[in-house]
A and B are shown apart, each in its own frame.
Chain A
Amino acid sequence: MGEAPAAVELRGISKSFPGVLANDEVSLVVRRGEVHCLLGENGAGKSTLMNVLAGVHRPDEGEIRVAGRRVTIGCPRDAIDLGIGMVHQHSSLIAVFTVLENLLLGRGEGLRLKTGEALAALEEFSALLGVAVDPWVQVGRLSLGEQQQLEIIRALWRGSRVLILDEPTSMLTPKGVEDLQRVLAQLTRQGLAVIFITHKLREAFDIGDRVSVLRRGRLAGTIDEATMRGGTFAELKQMVVELMFPGEAARLARVAEIRGFEGPARRSRRPAAGPPLLELSDVLIPGARGEVGIDEPLSLAVHAGEVVGVAGVDGNGQRPLAEGIAGQRRAAAGDIRLAGTTVRALSIGARQRLGLRYVTDDRLGEGVAPPLSVALNLVSKRIGAPPFWVHGRTKKAAIERHARALVEEYDIMTPTLDTPAGSLSGGTLQKIVVARELSFSPKVVVFNKPTHGLDVKTTAMVRDRIGRLVEGGEAGALVISTDLEELLELCDRVAVLSRGRLMGVVENVPGAEQEIGALMIGGGDE
C-alpha cells in the first residue's frame, strides 16, 4: 500500500503562553484515511497543538497545510470551512442552548440556519454511534457522557476532512468507545483523517494506525504503521513509555501493568473494615429535568478503611448521588450520616467541615474558579480558615507555602503559583482538584471519575493516593467511575448503579467482573 496523501501537515509549529513554551517547532503529517494517535504526559502540549489546527490559537511560528495548500486558520470558523472538526477536551457546548442549537452554532450561511441538515446529521450520526439524542433538550441537562457524544456528533458533521478528538473517550463507556471506533473505521475508509488524543495506551493501540508522542512541547517521536502492525501491545507500550518518560521506563513498567493492560490486579478484600463513616439510608435524590436522579430508595455505607466503588454508565444517577452526598443538592427523602452525624439538612460547607470531600468530575465548571490563581484554587475550600486566614485576613505566605508543597508533591505543571488555573492543561487541573481534596486529612472522600484525563504516571499516583488514604483505617472513599478496571483495582466492594437504581453491591473477589456486568445488563433490560 502506497502512502496516502497528507490531509493536513503541520510544519514547525510553535506556540507560547506566558511562562510556557507549549509547542516547540512541532511538525506532524496526518494522512488521509488514518487514525493518528497523539500521546503525551499531562501538559505536553497536545491540546494546544490541536487548538492551533482548529483555529482556537494562532501559532507564533510555523505553517499549516491542508490538502497540500498552505492555509491561515485565524478562527474556528476558518477551520470548520476547511473541513476540520474538533471535539475539545472540555465541553464547548452552550448549556442553555438545545442540542439542535448547539449543532447549528457556527454552521449558518448568512442568516439562514441549516436546521434541516442539522437534524438529518444528528439522526445519521447518532444512529451510527448507537445513541439516542433528543434535539430539543437543553444541553445542560445531559450527563457529561451524553454531552461528549453530542460533541462527537457535531465534530463529525463539521469535520469532513479532518476530525480531531481530544480525549473523546474520557466520559464514554467501553461500549461507547467500541461504537466510536467502528464509526471511525467506517469514516477513515472514506478518506477522513482522524487525530485522536488519549491517555489510554490500549485505546491508542486498538484504534490508531500511527502514534506520535509529544513531550514538553516537542515531538518526541512517531511510531509508524509497520511497527504498529508488526509489534505486540507490550512492545508498543514499551516504546511509548520510553518516548513519554525517557529514562523512567523501568520504574514505570510496574505502573503500566497496573493500568490494567494485562488484566486488572485484584485487590484482596480488606479484613473487617472499621465503623461506618458514610451511611446513606433510603435516600432519594431527584434529578434535574431530563436527568436521571436517584429515583428509588438507595442505601449504601462506606466504612473506615474501605473503598467502595460505584459502577455504571455515566448519566445513570452518578452525579445526583455525588452531589446529594456533598450537599450540592438536597435529598428528597432518607438520611445521610457522616461519622454518625445526620448531614441531610447541612450546607456544603458544614459537611466539608465534618470531613467530607468531593472530587467533582466537572473540574473546569465547578472544580476550579478558572480566572483565579493556582495557589488560591488549591485553598479555595478553606477560605477563612487558619492558617491561611487569620481573623479574615489573608496570610499570603502560608497560602503560597502550602501551594508550593502541593505543586511539588503532585508534580502540578504550572509556570507560576499565580497563573490562572483556567489556562492549565486538563490533566493538570485534575491534579489540582485531587491534591486539594486529599489534603487536611479528610474522613470521607467522594471521587467522581478521579483519574479522567490523567496520564499513565499520574493515574497510578492518584490511585496509589486513594489506597493510602484509607490504609490507616481512619478514612473511607467512595469512587464513582465508568472505568470498571479502575474500580476492580481500587475497591473492596462495587455497587452498580443503573437508571437511578442501586442494582446490587458486589464484593471485589475474583469473578466480580462478571457479576457486575450482569447487574449492569440487568438494569438495561427494563
Chain B
Amino acid sequence: MSEPETRVASPPPAASVKVLSGVWRGLGPIVYALVAGGVLLLLMGRDPIGFYATTIESGLLSQTGLEQSIIRMAPLLLMSAGLIVAFQAGLWNIGGDGQFLIAAAVVAGLGAPLVGVLPYSLALALLCVIGFVAGAAWTIVPSVLKAWYGVNEIITTLMVGFIGIRLANLLIKGPFLSDRSLVPQTDVIPFKYLLPYLPGTRIHLGIVVALAVLAAVHYMQTRTSYGLSLRMLGASPKAAAHAGLDVKRDIVTAFGLSGGLIGLAAAVEVLGVWGYVRADWNPAFGLTLFALVFLARLNVKLVIPLVGFFAVLSIGGHEAARRAGLPNDFLLLLIGLILFFMVFTEWARTKGWTAGMRLRAAGRTSQREAALDE
C-alpha cells in the first residue's frame, strides 16, 4: 500500500510480558492457596511458617527428602504426559487411575515370574512394554465407542476406570495372588531385579525415563504432523474432519498413547519403588494431576516444575502434617484450595484484573504516545 499507514500497528505484547503473565497464571493460585492454607493453620492453632518450613526442609532440603521427591516425580510426570496427550486432543480421559492400576497389577503379577527367567535389562524393558500395553488396552472400549458411535468419553472412561480399579483388585486376589503373604498381594520382585539407581544416589532410573518421554511428547506435539492432527482435533473436531484428517484413527491412537503412558507410569512405580502391588493399593494420582496439568495449561515445560512442587509438598507435607499432629488430608485441602484459586484467577482475568493486563495497557498507552510524537 502506497499511502502512509494510519493505523498504529502495535507489535504483539513483548515476549517478556507474555511469559510473566503466563508464569503468574500458573504460580498465582499456588501462592494464594499457600496463604489461605496458612490462615487455616493459624486458626487451628498451628504455626504456618513452621509447617511450610518443615515441608520444604524434609521434602526438598534434606538428602533423603529430595531423593524421595524426585522418585515420586517419575510416575507423576509420566501420568501427566499421558493426560496431556489426551487433553490436547480434546479427549477427556478421566479413567487414568483405572488404567494405572490395571497396568500395575499386570506388571507386578507377571514381573515376579519373568525377572528370574529373562536377562535383567530385557525383563525390565519387557515389563515396561507390558505396562504400556495394559494401560493402552484399557482405553480401547471408550475410544472405539467415541470414534465410531460418538459416545461421550467422560462417562465411558470413568466407568471403565472403575471397572479397572475393581478388576486390578480381582487380578491380585486371583491369578496373581502370592501364597507367601498374609495380606492379598502379588509376589514380590526381588530387589536386585528392580530398576537401577542413578549413580551415586538412591534415585531409580524412572525419572530419566519420565523426562525422556516428556521431551518426546513435546517434540511430537510441536514438530510433527501427527501432533498437529491431534491439536486440530482438540481445537475443533469439525475442522479436523473437514480438513480430511482421519479422526477415528486419531481418537483411537491418542487414547491408546494416553493410556499407555499412564500404564508406563505404573510400571515405573512398581519396578522402581515397590516390587509388588497390594490388592488395596491405589495412589489415586489422577485427580490431583488433572489439576496440575490444567494449571500448566497442558504445557509440558510448565508441568515439570509444578509436578516437582507437588512432589515436595506431598513428601515434605507428610512429615510436616505428622509433626503438627494434623491428618494427611490437610494436603488434599491444599490441593483443593489450589483448584479453587485457579478458577478464581481465571475469573479475575476475564474481568481484566491481572498484572499482565495492566502491563499491556501501559505498553499500549506508551506506544500511542510514541505514535503521536512522530
Contact = CB atoms under 8 A, between A and B. Distances in A.
Contacts of A96: none
Contacts of A68: none
Given A19-B12, A389-B225, A366 B238 contact: yes
Contacts of B232: 369, 372, 380, 383
Interface stretch (B79-87, B240-248, B314-322): B240-248
Interface bin, chain B: 20 to 34
Nearest to A247: B3
A163 to B, nearest CB: 27
Interface in B325-347: none
A60 B8 CA distance: 15
A19 B10 contact: yes
Interface in A59-78: 60
B364 A347 contact: no
Contact of A372 (B223, B235, B238): B235
Interface in B197-250: 222-229, 231-232, 235-236, 238-246
Contact of A349 (B8, B11, B245, B352): B245
A21 B240 CA distance: 31
A383 B243 contact: yes
Contacts of B228: 376, 383, 394
Contact of A415 (B9, B226, B246): B9
A384 interface: yes
B6 interface: yes
B180 interface: no
Given A383-B245, A415-B12, A366 B239 contact: yes
A225 B104 CA distance: 78
Interface string A406-430: 0000000001100000000000000
B230 to A, nearest CB: 11
B7 A216 contact: yes
Given A349-B244, A366-B239, A381-B243, A217 B12 contact: no
Nearest to A25: B368
B153 to A, nearest CB: 17
B351 to A, nearest CB: 8
A143 interface: no
A348 B245 CA distance: 8
B12 A416 contact: yes
Contact of B242 (A24, A360, A415): A360
A392 interface: yes
Contact of A392 (B12, B226, B235, B243): B226
A58 B352 contact: yes
A231 interface: no
Nearest to A16: B364
B20 interface: no
Contacts of A350: 244
Contacts of B224: 389, 392-394
Contact of B10 (A16, A370, A383): A16
A416 B229 CA distance: 22
Contact of B3 (A246, A328, A372, A380): A246
Contact of B239 (A217, A352, A368, A394): A368
Contacts of B246: 347, 349
B361 interface: yes
A218 B5 CA distance: 12
A369 B239 contact: yes
A500 interface: no
Contacts of B244: 347-352, 381
- From B2, B13, B222, B224, name the one whose CB has the most chain A CB atoms within 10 angstroms: B224
A371 interface: yes
A328 B247 CA distance: 12
B3 A366 contact: no
A21 B225 CA distance: 34
Interface string A354-395: 000010101001111111100010001101100001001110
Contacts of B8: 21, 24
Contacts of A372: 231-232, 235
A23 to B, nearest CB: 11
A471 to B, nearest CB: 27
A108 interface: no
A360 B9 CA distance: 31
A37 to B, nearest CB: 22
Contact of B7 (A24, A366, A370, A393): A24
Contacts of B229: 383-384
A383 B225 CA distance: 6
Contacts of A358: 242
Contacts of B235: 369-372
Nearest to A350: B244
B6 A216 contact: yes
Contacts of B11: 19
Contacts of B13: 18
A333 interface: no
B364 A60 contact: yes
B338 to A, nearest CB: 25
A362 B241 CA distance: 13
A216 B238 CA distance: 32
A348 B231 CA distance: 19
A380 B12 CA distance: 24
A352 B243 CA distance: 9
Nearest to B364: A16
A363 to B, nearest CB: 10
Contacts of A369: 231-232, 235-236, 239-240, 243
B9 A19 contact: yes
A132 interface: no
Interface in B16-33: none
- From B227, B232, B242, name the one whose CB has the most chain A CB atoms within 10 angstroms: B242
A246 B231 CA distance: 42
Nearest to B231: A372
A215 B229 CA distance: 37
Q: Name the 4 nearest CB pairs between A and B, nearest first.
A: A349-B244, A369-B235, A384-B225, A366-B238
30 contacts: A16-B10, A16-B364, A19-B9, A20-B9, A60-B364, A348-B244, A349-B244, A349-B245, A350-B244, A352-B244, A360-B242, A362-B238, A365-B238, A366-B236, A367-B239, A367-B242, A369-B232, A370-B235, A380-B243, A381-B244, A383-B225, A383-B232, A383-B243, A384-B225, A393-B223, A394-B223, A394-B227, A415-B9, A415-B12, A416-B12
Given A348-B242, A383-B228, A383-B232, 8 more contacts: A16-B364, A246-B3, A349-B245, A369-B243, A383-B229, A392-B224, A392-B226, A394-B225
